[in-house]
Structure 1
C-alpha cells in the first residue's frame, strides 16, 4: 500500500508493518507502544524531547548524533562503549563504575567525590 499526501492520524493495531518505509513524513506526537522494532533504522531524524521507557536497545548504535541534556535513569549500560564523545559538564551519580576503563581522554576538571582526578594521577606517578 502506498500512501501519499495524507494529513490525518493513522491508528494501526495488531498489524505487521515489517519492511515499511517512512520517508519525508512528520510523526510528531506519534506513539509506539508494545512495538517490535528489531533492526529498525533511523537516519536524519529529529527526535528531540522523545521519551523511551521500558525499551530494549541492546547492541543499538548511536553515531553522529546530538544528545545534549539527555538523561539516563535506571538504565543498564553494562558493556557499553563510548568513543569520541563529548561528556563535558555531565554528571554521573549513583553509578556502578566497576571495571570501567578510561583512556586517551581529556580529564581537565574531572572530579570523583569532589577530588580532582588529575591531582590523584600526579600523586600516583610520584609514588610509583
Structure 2
C-alpha cells in the first residue's frame, strides 16, 4: 500500500466506542481502542506523506448500532424500543460496503446514532 500510495484500511468499531454502557466493561474499551488505533494510524500515515489526497489513503471507522448477530442474540439482548430496532446483518453489511465505496472516513449506522457522541459532549 505504501509503495502504491493507495489503498484502504477498514476497521469496524461500534457506537460503544463513543460511550460506555452497562455490562460493557469488556466490550466498550476494545471499541475505544479501535478508534484510537485508527486515529494514530492516520496520523502516522500523514507524517509519512501518505495522505496526499483522502481518496488515496483513508482510514474508515464503521460504527454500527446493535446488529442482529449470534453474539447479541445469545446474550439475550433485545431492542430497547421499536424506535431503535436492531439492524439485520445484511443491512449492516450493505451499509458498510456503501460507506467504503463513498470513502466515508467515519460512518454511523443507522444515521441517528450520530447523536450519541454529541449528547455525551
TM-score by length of 1: 0.19
Normalized per residue, the structure richer in helix is 2
Normalized per residue, the structure richer in strand is 2
- Between Structure 1 and Structure 2, whose CA radius of gyration is higher? 1
Q: RCO greater where, 1 or 2, for CA within 8 Å and sep 6 or more?
A: 2
